Structure 1
């Protein structure tokens, strides 16, 4: 492939992004020829499209003894283009159950999200050979269509960001040819030849042998991955339509959705529900436990299945996804108009409530006193008001409330209560902005 041919392909890959003036395009630099080629192509693109913002990021997690020297070399090459750059070290904790490579990748992506604008496009250097290796690794793991879809050319990411892989159909050989013709600077990492690493084993020992026998094997893999992606997209659309038809909101999975459905459809609906909440998918065993217990649930069921970072619970003929909140904010006196509620979101407090001698207190421990609601007969404890409103029991125990002058209680989404019987309460209302991930949105 010629230099101009690769640039034309790069431009075509960016067309579906429908970029807006001022939008941020970010080259994620790893140091190899692929990411340096991405940067060079992006700088050529900048000459024709100055209306966008351009940034290059390299994060050094120091897994290799020479990584600091490599980082300096890459930084000098990037700055020669006159592009804004961010080069910084990255501390990556590695758990006992996680590979170093996976931990490094997760750490890099998390930090890049923190360093970029909400609608940024991150350009990655993954290519045709990477896609083949990913497909084979997913096949080895026994993945279905979603896993075999491998890497998407354009993929939604954190916030409104997107990941873009302009070179996904380009061979490593063509990328090296381009880098050499353009006299680019890149690093050859010797760990890429360590065949104890699964991806390297495929790269050096397996894929060349297969392609020597079947030269079109790589193209067949790309076509299979694309077909799997299309099939998964159609299935996701149909499943989401089925979910929306019965749901009152995302955090709620009515058990009627499982009725008269095949076991495979039940599992698919449950997986789709958790994906819409941006939850990590449970293992097959966990998912089957959720499905079986949900099918046999009754009014008295105490179903609670712990997954990675959340629990699946049962309440009122439905499943609920309950985020594990960790430590809730401590009770405190409020003297500001903006209050962070952690997993619950944020509160905007009217200035009148914190002026003068007013004492406004935030608490996550429900009051045990009986409360009256304007326009309602009788007084009840807060947990009984919440129960009557259909709030799940585990949320009633940690519901955010504001106490004003030991007389009034403001409860998120339910308004003002009084410790006395009263017809009206003439107090301004705080504004509750619930968590953007929807984990505490209530019916």
Structure 2
């Protein structure tokens, strides 16, 4: 069907199957709606506009991937529909990188670009409504089954989950697409068809047009069966997470690391389950590995002088002194700071550093420089005591090697007076620092 203007129908024009799950968000103060202009999101827009109060501040978010010849016409049509309904319209045009792995990679790249926009609009919280339905859920389960996903993947799309600093919700997951189309046609709605939705070079389109219809013809209850499978897998995934949390209480340290001696006592199945949960809990995507058992054997059983690693997207699992650490990929080294400004904090990696006056009588501001290690540093841990090699001292403190190079070092007139949050000279620490000034090092929560 071609794009056209839609009038705002009264709340009673839509069945309870659509309005009831949308009304559940009436108490939200910031509601966004993913609006592509297609059938599903057009109905969701109409229903939301009719049954959500003005206090919900409904905003339709249109992501223009600029991949189709009619993308600008679709954007203009979406804008007109929102104007006719009195709904705020937010458009984001994105440039999707053309991946080397072909159309399948393009499909995933477009999805990532779309969800990056959604996270941005949820930067201050709120809920994003998406119009995924029961057929989408079935395609997701089949697609993940063909990719070899475990129970977490076969659980399908959740009705609600965290996204950035807000929430993503799918109020139509229980409704079949055929029913949505029947209601839309009965209401006289018009929508825009994306030409790429029929391109069977894309995996999901191949399933949607080439496979699922044949499966439905053979098994009419296919969607209900796949929905039941997803529910069972979701419950199994929840049990796996609960088990992982119990095992982490036994195996994890106060610093959030995994103790290898304790981890090795678990069965291989429990080890794999715990490691996956540990990585996912930190917000990282699980790497696609052919043999998790082999990776775990290398991490746990390698000789003490070896440094096995598991690299993922944005993180690395590293081993050090009997522990596994989950280490975020580091940005470039922070720039040296020529002098700390009194009363003002500065950022160093994930630390906040400030120089604060403690004794009002000490008006002379000390000149404190901040820089990273250069090698060969020495300092006196105890005033008047022997000089120590910083390298050896850090080893004794069991500071992991990847953290040592990024520690901020504090100098006063070429004398090392502080090492990150590990050590500070009495001149700048304690209840009554000798200089009258205190260096404060805090972990940045942002």
TM-score by length of 1: 0.86
1:397 aligns with 2:405: yes
1:4 aligns with 2:15: yes
After TM superposition, give the deviation of residue 360 of structure 1 in Å. 3.3
After TM superposition, give the deviation of residue 60 of structure 1 in Å. 0.6
After TM superposition, give the deviation of residue 263 of structure 1 in Å. 2.0
1:340 aligns with one of 319, 344, 347: 347
Check whether the contact 2:18–2:172 (CA below 8 A) recurs between aligned residues.
no
Cross-structure match for 1:72: 76
- Aligned equivalents of 1:39, 1:233: Cα separation in 2: 32
Cross-structure match for 1:85: 89
- 1:367-386 equivalences in 2 (<5 Å): 368-373=376-381, 378-386=386-394
After TM superposition, give the deviation of residue 118 of structure 1 in Å. 3.6
Check whether the contact 2:141–2:155 (CA below 8 A) recurs between aligned residues.
yes
Give a deviation string over 1:323-355, Cα, whole Å, max 9, x none: 2214222223355623233xx3241424549x9
Check whether the contact 2:125–2:167 (CA below 8 A) recurs between aligned residues.
yes
After TM superposition, give the deviation of residue 65 of structure 1 in Å. 0.9
- What stretches of structure 2 of length at least 5 have no aligned partner? 1-11
- Aligned equivalents of 1:256, 1:294: Cα separation in 2: 12
Cross-structure match for 1:208: 213
| Aligned alpha-carbon RMSD (Å) | 2.9
Cross-structure match for 2:277: 272
- Aligned equivalents of 2:386, 2:426: Cα separation in 1: 11
1:323 aligns with one of 328, 353, 358: 328
- What stretches of structure 1 of length at least 5 have no aligned partner? 437-443
The 3-state SS of whatever aligns with 2:85 is coil
1:433 aligns with one of 416, 424, 443: 443
- Aligned equivalents of 2:36, 2:168: Cα separation in 1: 15
- Aligned equivalents of 1:254, 1:86: Cα separation in 2: 48
After TM superposition, give the deviation of residue 71 of structure 1 in Å. 0.5
Cross-structure match for 2:369: 361
TM-score by length of 2: 0.86
Q: How many residues align?
A: 424
After TM superposition, give the deviation of residue 374 of structure 1 in Å. 5.2
Cross-structure match for 2:195: 190
After TM superposition, give the deviation of residue 311 of structure 1 in Å. 2.2
The 3-state SS of whatever aligns with 1:368 is coil
Cross-structure match for 1:440: none
1:252 aligns with one of 245, 250, 257: 257
1:123 aligns with 2:137: no
1:175 aligns with 2:186: no
Cross-structure match for 1:44: 50
Q: Which has the larger radius of gyration?
A: 2
Regions of 4+ moved over 6 Å = none
* TM-aligned CA distance change 1:327 to 1:269, over 3 Å: same
- Aligned equivalents of 2:72, 2:264: Cα separation in 1: 58
- Aligned equivalents of 2:384, 2:159: Cα separation in 1: 57
The 3-state SS of whatever aligns with 2:326 is strand
After TM superposition, give the deviation of residue 3 of structure 1 in Å. 1.7
